[in-house]
Amino acid sequence: MSLEIGQQAPDFNMQATGGRTVSLEGLKGRPFVLYFYPKADTPGCTKEACAFQEALPQLGKLGVEVIGVSKDKMTALEKFAAKYNLTFPLASDPENAVIDAYGAWLEKSMYGKKYMGIERSTVLVDASGKVAHVWPKVKVEGHAADVQKAIAAL
């Protein structure tokens, strides 16, 4: 990840589930979490999304928005959100603009073959629009709880 703690969060404006639009401008004055995941409705991504959904009541009390970001088309995201009752926005970034700006588009390797893809990662942005915390190479287990601890410390 190429983001530095304390730097201004890169601008974004994306279409999201539930007919919503998410943007840096629209979130001004509120802390938020952007988490980047490879593909909707795959085992790891489902676990991660459900963990964030479970944490929503506590995160809401802290005034924090959660937004999931992937390259998936809106139709796939809407199906994923409906299947698992995900109430937070899942945003579509088909051109990789936001994924790249936040440093989550990287060269990966599987079975010796190299390819470009989304690194599972999370960014916490504070109410002033600055990067407060970055989690690269996220392991799903316990991640939502780690994010919650960092938010509580803001």
What pLDDT, on the 0 to 100 scale, is given for residue 23? 97
Look at residue 43 and tell me if it is in a domain: yes
pLDDT digits (tens, 9 = 90+) for 42-84: 999 999 999 999 999 999 898 999 999 999 999 999 999 999 9
Evaluate if residue 1 carries a pLDDT over 60: no
Question: Is 59 in contact with 151 (CB distance < 8 Å)?
Answer: yes
Q: With respect to residue 37, please indicate whether it lies within any of the assigned structural domains.
A: yes
Residue 4 placed within a domain? no
Contact 6, 79 (CB under 8 A): no
Domain containing residue 111: CATH number: 3.40.30.10
Burial environment of residue 98 by CB neighbours within 10 A (0 to 12, 13 to 18, 19 or more): buried
Q: Note whether residue 8 is domain-resident.
A: no
Does some domain include residue 59?
A: yes
Place of tokens 């299947």: 83
In a domain, 136, yes or no: yes
Q: What is the pLDDT of residues 13-36, one digit of tens each?
A: 999 999 999 999 999 999 999 999
Active site amino acids: 45
- In the chain, pLDDT over 70 holds for what percent of residues? 99
Q: Which domain holds residue 145?
A: 13-22+29-152
Predicted TM-score (pTM) of the model is 0.94
pLDDT of residue 36: 97
6 found inside a domain: no
pLDDT value for 109:
86
Give me the number of domains the chain comprises: 1
- 3 inside domain: no
